Structure 1
Amino acid sequence: MDGFQADAATVDSVLASPEDAPAVVKKVARSAATLSVEQLAAFVTALGGSIIDEDHLVVVLQRAVEIAHRAIDGADSCGITIVSGGRTFTAVHTDARTLQVDVHQYEIGEGPCLHAATTGEIVRVDVDGADARWPQFVAAAKEEGIRSFLAAPLYTPTERFGSLNIYGHRPDAFIEHDRAVVEALTAALARAISDYARFRHARDLADGLREALDSRAPIEQAKGMLMAIHRIDADAAFRMLAENSQRSNRKLRVVAKELLAAVSGVDAATAVTAKEPT
């Protein structure tokens, strides 16, 4: 891809402080360019490291929608649709309205997010511009108070597998700058996911994500325990779980469940096998 050669300080700031990621993405978009492949990789690894399994993939997708929500001024609701292996579902979302609008789209079988996911095109349109293309969906979206849509395809080098979906309450809520933001985010996600997805068939990827979504509770509970025990934030707690998962070559959910069982049965200070950050 065409490379925007961001200075090293920009990338380092993301790596050192993931909460600054929305500002960095906006800076890239203002430059009317995209990050280089290496910089995109650095950007996403700052959100949680290399993807180690489908549990970790869910975490990275959730962070991506949170960044979009913060980086795009008109973004009132954000989510990610997975269209892969004959499955269509919302993997992550920022609020209940996102999920409701997505479900309308899936039931009707048309809309901006499905269009982006299946065609690879970015869609930026408000309800008036979309009414002729997707009348049933637009009517349902209006009932939910949604007036603007911005959707970008999610992809790997070999396939498209979903879309990043942004909904706004105002007509014309999104501008060309916002399109550049979602392009930067989806390109970063593509880089982060490509190595992981290379070893998974489309149906396996979709099934694994669904299973991971059903298994999120133990991971969140384990993060909460680590935060309380070590007085650390959520990102540091997740890193502890991820490092343990990588060292032991076990899924995140397995590590989380073992931690919960250990802490409930013995002294919390000695139950955690992950090394506390220094």
Structure 2
Amino acid sequence: MTPDPLARIDETTEALAALRDAFTGEEPLDDALQRLADTAARVMPDADAVTVSVVTADQPRTAAATDPRLIDVDEKQYSADRGPCLESARSMKTVRAVVGEHLDLWPEFEAAADRTGVRAYLSVPVVLPASDDGEAQHIATLNIYSYTAAAFDPFDEKLMRLFTTAASATINSAQRWQRSRNQVLHLERALESRAEIEQAKGVLMAVHACTADEAFTMLVERSQHENTKLRGVARSLLESVKGS
């Protein structure tokens, strides 16, 4: 029995809502991608397994999988530098493949898929957030495997493209939230460090009747001598004063 399209849209909408609520930004990106794979496997009727490939300039990798046995099909594409997964990432388009119809184009993918019993494959691009070191956004692909050759019609392709677009926006928002939170935490630590250093300078100025610059030089010299961060030296000095 063919699933009702409207019912499937409702199911996908509900799944996206659950996905959005789950992404708090506190979990690692790979955990978020695993959640994405698990959700896609639930909402796609013909999906027997789902993986997520992250395609970077260095080396593509499978970041998530609902069935580890299918990771080999992904990895054969990576090593050959060709296949529907990479085609989807590079073209930013949905790619559907029926095993047996692309022997000349993707022989490595064809052989690996055939060994696992896969008969149909749908790969949909996902835009991932920029990395913390400022690199550009990465591209991932949501790879959906089916043991039925007739799986995945045009409606499935459009639905999954909508799904990945919404999921991409959700993941990006969560990751941006996490980066902003980290920046705030770093700033708070920096301000705490500065406050402790200023207090330690004040102690040294009072004890040695020296200037602020001279007190700071004392702290730096002690930091270098003890191979300890400046904040640690300042904190130690303040604790010794409190304990005396």
User: Contact 1:41/1:191 (CA < 8 Å) preserved in 2?
Assistant: no
Equivalent residue number for residue 109 of structure 2: 137
In structure 1, distance between residues paired with 2:93 and 2:148: 22
**Paired residue for 2:193?**
none
Task: State the match for 1:262 in structure 2.
Answer: none
| RMSD over aligned Cα atoms | 3.5
| TM superposition shift of 1:120 | 0.3
Pairwise CA distance, 1:28: 5.3
Q: Pick from 152, 160, 177: which aligns with 1:174?
A: 152
Any conservation in 1 of the 2:25–2:175 contact (CA below 8 Å)? Answer: no
Does the CA-based 8 Å contact 1:25-1:181 persist in structure 2? no
Alignment partner, residue 124 of structure 2: 152
2:52 and 2:65 in contact (8 A); partners too: yes
How many Å separate the matches in 2 of 1:25 and 1:119? 31
- Counterparts of 1:43-192 in structure 2, within 5 Å, are 44-46=19-21, 48-52=22-26, 55=28, 57-155=29-127, 159-192=137-170
- In the TM superposition, residue 85 of structure 1 has moved relative to its aligned partner by 4.2
Secondary structure of 2:144's counterpart equals strand
- The residue that corresponds to 1:206 in the other structure is none
Identity %, equivalent residues:
28
1:173, distance to aligned residue in structure 2 (A):
1.5
Which ranges in structure 1 are unaligned for 5 or more consecutive residues? 1-22, 201-244, 251-278
- The question of whether the paired residues in 1 share the 8 Å contact of 2:77 and 2:83 is answered with yes
CA deviation map 1:75-98 (0-9, x unaligned): 111110001242310000001222
Query: Aligned in 2, Cα 1:52/1:24: closer, same or farther, shift over 3 Å?
Result: farther
**2: CA distance, partners of 1:70 / 1:40:** 8
The separation in 2 between residues aligned to 1:177 and 1:89, in whole angstroms, is 28
Matched residue pairs, number?
173
Rg larger in structure:
2
Preserved contact between residue 116 and residue 153 of structure 1 (Cα < 8 Å)? yes
Cα distance, 1:154 vs. partner? 0.9
Kindly indicate whether structure 1 or structure 2 has the higher relative contact order, using CA contacts under 8 Å at least 6 residues apart.
1
Cα separation, partners in 2 of 1:52 and 1:107, compared to 1, 3 Å: same
TM-aligned CA deviation for residue 29 of structure 1: 8.8
Amino acid at match of 2:162: A
Deviation at 1:159, TM superposition (A): 4.3
Look up the SS of the partner of 2:64 in the other structure.
Answer: strand
Q: 1:29 to 1:113 in 2, by over 3 A?
A: farther
Flag the 1:98–1:85 CA change in 2: closer, same or farther, 3 A.
same
Structure 1 pair 104–58 and aligned structure 2 pair: CA distance change class (3 A): same
In structure 2, relative to structure 1, the CA distance for the partners of 1:184 and 1:27 (3 Å cut) is same
Q: Does the Cα contact within 8 Å between 1:29 and 1:177 map onto a contact in 2?
A: no
Q: Check 1:249–1:198 CA distance in 2 against 1; reply closer, same or farther (3 A cut).
A: closer
1:7 corresponds to which residue?
Answer: none
Letter aligned with residue 99 of structure 1: I
TM-score by length of 2: 0.60
**Secondary structure, in 3 states, of the residue corresponding to 1:130?**
coil
Report the counterpart of residue 215 of structure 1 in structure 2. none
String of CA shifts for 1:173-213, please: whole Å, max 9, x gaps. Answer: 2112221231122112220233466699xxxxxxxxxxxxx
Q: Unmatched 5+ residue regions in structure 2?
A: 130-135, 187-244
Task: Kindly indicate whether the alpha-carbon contact (under 8 Å) linking 2:11 and 2:43 is maintained by their aligned counterparts in 1.
Answer: no
